[in-house]
Amino acid sequence: MRLDIFTLFPQWFEWFETQRHVRNAIAGGSELRYLDYRATTPLSAGQVDDSPYGGGAGMVMRVDVVDAALQAAYGDNRSGRRIVLMTPSGRPFDEELASELAREPDLTLLCGRYEGVDERVREHLVTDAVSIGRYVLSGGELAAMVVADAVLRKLPGALGHADSAMEESFSAALEGHPEYPHYTRPPTYRGWDIPEILVSGDHERVREWRRERSRERGASDREGA
Ligand SMILES: C[S@@+](CC[C@H](N)C(=O)[O-])C[C@H]1O[C@@H](n2cnc3c(N)ncnc32)[C@H](O)[C@@H]1O
């Protein structure tokens, strides 16, 4: 995958690239780029924002600045490329969307800042608008990292153990339910015991127990527990 993240703060992603599954994805052939809107802004003195028409607090990122950044990276040839605007009012990000994006050969994430981005970006320049939740962050960088993390870990070789991604929360293997609980040593701690079945050696019963816990968690999610 070629993943491009447009941001005013490329240095935020230095930490992200140190994460093992991200390094693994890169070693496996994926390319990550962080593109600074200020590097290509057509305005003087690195300007990227302006005051909102109609008045109101804060500044808005300009459509010509975002367009210039996309032009510099791709020219007019953006067909087929998934370009995602990070915004609180977008499609809720979930495991299904992560899998969908992980199948893309080319993916672009646009981080907003300030009061957000001129609406014409959403109307004319992107293919998707995605939200990581119904709350407001100060900028799209953390949201883009959430999306990039969930997407990159799905690429072949990103996780040390391929099975880790097969049977985890919301996967088809668990019928879309959350994952079952895990336990490790010690078997008893402060009087808290692990479920005996897990040390029974009966793999079929362990599998059934896990499936059952997973379904239970799915049911309590729906009930809001
Ligand atoms: C301060 S926010 C703008 C919030 C906007 N004024 C509103 O009320 O919806 C600045 C940027 O952070 C990013 N952002 C904030 N919360 C987000 C979320 N929940 N999901 C995705 N992106 C988010 C977006 O890129 C947004 O343009």
Predicted confidence (pLDDT) per residue in 112-135, tens digit: 999 999 999 999 999 999 999 999
Q: Which of 89, 117, 137 to mutate to test the pocket of ligand 1 (most atoms within 8 A of CB)?
A: 137
**pLDDT tens readout for residues 155-196:** 988 887 766 677 899 999 999 999 999 999 999 999 999 999
**pLDDT tens readout for residues 11-54:** 999 999 999 999 999 999 999 999 999 999 999 999 999 999 99
pLDDT of residue 224: 65
Distance 143 CA to ligand 1 centre (A): 9
SS (H, E, C) 20-57: HHHHHHHHCCCEEEEEEHHHHCCCHHHCCEECCCCCCC
Establish whether residue 52 lines the binding site of ligand 1, counting it when its CB lies within 6 angstroms of any ligand atom. Answer: no
Distance 162 CA to ligand 1 centre (A): 34
Burial code of 58-93, b = ≥16 C-beta within 10 A, e = fewer? eebbbbebbbbbbeeeeeeebeebbbbbbbbebeeb
CA distance 190 to 203: 27
Which of 43, 117, 42, 40 lies closest to 84, judged by CA? Answer: 117
Q: Is the pTM of this model over 0.85?
A: yes
Whether residue 111 contacts residue 7, with contact meaning beta carbons closer than 8 Å, is answered with yes
pLDDT of residue 220: 84
Q: Name the average pLDDT for the chain.
A: 95
pLDDT of residue 179: 96
Task: Indicate the SS3 state at residue 101.
Answer: helix
Which residues, in sequence order, are CB contacts of 26 under 8 Å at separation 6+?
Answer: 17, 32
pLDDT of residue 225: 58
Distances in whole angstroms, Cα of residue 218 to Cα of each of 38, 165, 169, 223: 45, 18, 10, 9
- In this structure, which residue's CA is closest to atom 18 in ligand 1? 88
pLDDT of residue 162: 66
Q: Which of 37, 136, 146 to mutate to test the pocket of ligand 1 (most atoms within 8 A of CB)?
A: 136
Q: Evaluate if residue 152 carries a pLDDT over 70.
A: yes
